[in-house]
Amino acid sequence: MHGSTEGPELNPLRAYLMGTGSWFVGFGIQMVTFAWLVTMVLDASPAMVGVAQMALLTPMLILVLIGGGLADFLGGRRVALVAQGLAVLPPLLLALVIWQGQLSFATMVAYGIAMGSVSAFLTPARDGLLNDVASGTVQQAVVLAMLVQFIGQMVGIFIASFATRWGAVTVLTFQGTIFLVGVLGFARIPRPEVAPVRRHTSMLTELRQSIVAGYRVVAGDPATRTTVLQNIAISVFFIGAFIVTIPLLVREYYGGDSTELGWTNGAFSLGLVIVVALLTRVPDLTHPGRALIVAQATGAVALAGAGLGVPFPVFVALILTWGAFGGVAMSMSRTIVQERAPADSRGRVLSFYTLSLMGAGPIGALFNGFMVGWIGPRHTLVLAAGLMFLTMVVVALTSQLWNLKGHTTDS
């Protein structure tokens, strides 16, 4: 049961999706504008593009476990509400700096650190809330949340694709404003009647104990452990390629700007949306681990094709295909972890999931940035895809993930 909340009544799941959708509209804007400002407006070198993206991802590595512990300690709703509110400030401050004509690489690094820090606290808190508001099976709720996430990203990417025409100040101001909508959404999620359990210890002790407990849950479950480990490869090879290599490829090989970046990011998100929408129409998959492995390996083949110097329309189509298989993989990996996480440590377990998915991102950003400087963006994209394919072959041959059966009841 839930307690009352202030303001007009709103279905808890709809309120959750309102907050989630708002964040990912803003995140979609950030995907394009951050890469555009660093790669094309500031004309940074490949290595410095990697450094800038590392600044965006490093706070996740440092803070996400603390964020998950705080979500369990203080309650996910409270942490999500505060973090979403703080997210309003960085884009508005960056817009002010650009309006004053003071944009610099250091400014972008500071923005990246600020947004990365907010995300580290918001993500595990928001993800942990999903089980509380879900009205069907966990897999159904996960797929619905991801559908809203990717549609939101597409909307944000579409808006950001006009950054060259409208100007960064306009787009960033809209980004900050849309984050406010998410604050209203999370505020409409009812407060739990029972407050989160507090022990007679300090908050730091509680956080340390919660992180250790979360690690034990992850390490003690083979399916969760394998899913978390393969997420690290995703972070290094796939996410690193997406945020560093692909923008550099668009700049250096296709001669693009924010419009072409918007097409590329939009195609990826469209692929995600199409598949996740289809997943809402079919019964829960009985072997989520098998679907995860096949989707990751097939997506790697599509990504390798995008690095072969194909015409831009074919490149966009291959990125869309990669995104489609990514939709299956991301849905299944999150479902596996979400279903198997104990209710009393869900925030901590999901913080490890987020850490594995994003925490190795700084390594991936640097790896891709320096490899582009060494062998060029096309060859780097093929290399990253090939290494990811090999990783999934190893996972299929050495883990129990292939035969894992999913839950079909509420969690």
Tens digits of per-residue pLDDT, 303-337? 999 999 999 999 999 999 999 998 888 888 888 88
Res 193: pLDDT: 54
Whether residue 1 is contained in a domain is answered as no
CB under 8 Å to 118, separation ≥6 — which residues?
A: 83, 86, 87, 90
State how far the Cα of 385 lies from the Cα of 222, in Å rounded to an integer: 26
Question: Can you give the pLDDT at residue 180?
Answer: 93
Query: What confidence score (pLDDT) does residue 10 get?
Result: 59
Look at residue 354 in the predicted model and tell me its pLDDT: 73
> Is residue 322 one of the residues assigned to a domain?
yes
Q: Is 163 a member of any domain?
A: yes
Highest mean pLDDT of the ranges 199-208, 257-266, 338-347, 402-411: 257-266
Alpha carbon 210 to its chain's center? 23
What range defines the domain where residue 241 resides? 12-191+201-400
pTM summary value:
0.75
CB-CB contact of 224 with 400 (8 Å):
no
Domain total in the chain:
1
User: What is the DSSP secondary-structure string of 179-215?
Assistant: HHHHHHHHHTSPPBSSPPP--SS-HHHHHHHHHHHHH
Whether 4 maps to a domain, the answer reads no
The residue with tokens 């994209």 is 381
Q: Residue 132 corresponds to which tokens in the numbers above? A: 């509380």
In a domain, residue 408? The reply is no
Confidence at residue 207, expressed as pLDDT on a 0 to 100 scale: 60
User: For residue 329, what is the domain's CATH number?
Assistant: 1.20.1250.20
Which stretch, 34-38, 256-260, 274-278, has highest mean pLDDT? 34-38
Write down the pLDDT at residue 22.
93
Instruction: Name the burial class of residue 193, with classes exposed (0-12), middle (13-18) and buried (19+) by CB atoms within 10 angstroms of its CB.
Output: exposed
